[in-house]
Amino acid sequence: MKIFVKTLKGTHFEIEVQPDDTVADVKKNIETVQGSHVYPVSQQMLIHQGKVLKDGTTLEENKVAENSFVVIMLTKVKIGILLIEKLKGISPEKTFKELNSARFDLICSYVSLILGCVS
């Protein structure tokens, strides 16, 4: 079946999918069709009817039907890693479990940075 993918820039494109395709499959399809430099799977977020679609769910489970549209957004994961590395001296190779203990300090540092309190 055909679905439309709308971008935040106001453009759209169509892709061929199956109702039993997972959201992760659709993301891979988008990356293949549009290019990994444009829509890398790791940064894609798909939204349908105001709901963020989870990778392990199928299009059918999310009520995505023929000629439906999904909105694609890209997350900015690298910015968070850069802030963590710069503010806390933690390398990007650390796991989320290891980073969890630094979460509060990171949030406080980030808020201070935004408010202009940190030079």
How buried is residue 43: exposed, middle or buried, by Cβ count under 10 Å (0-12/13-18/19+)? Answer: middle
Q: Does the pTM of the predicted model rise above 0.75?
A: no
* pLDDT tens per residue, range 33-66: 999 989 999 999 999 998 999 999 999 999 999 9
Q: Mean pLDDT of all residues in the chain?
A: 79
Q: In the chain, what are the domains?
A: 2-74 (3.10.20.90), 77-115 (no CATH)
Q: Look at 81 and 11; give whichever has higher pLDDT.
A: 11
What are the residues whose beta carbons fall under 8 Å from the beta carbon of 102, sequence distance 6 or more? 84, 88, 90
* pLDDT tens per residue, range 3-19: 999 988 889 999 999 99
* pLDDT tens per residue, range 94-113: 555 555 555 555 555 555 55
The answer to whether 22 touches 55, Cβ cutoff 8 Å, is yes
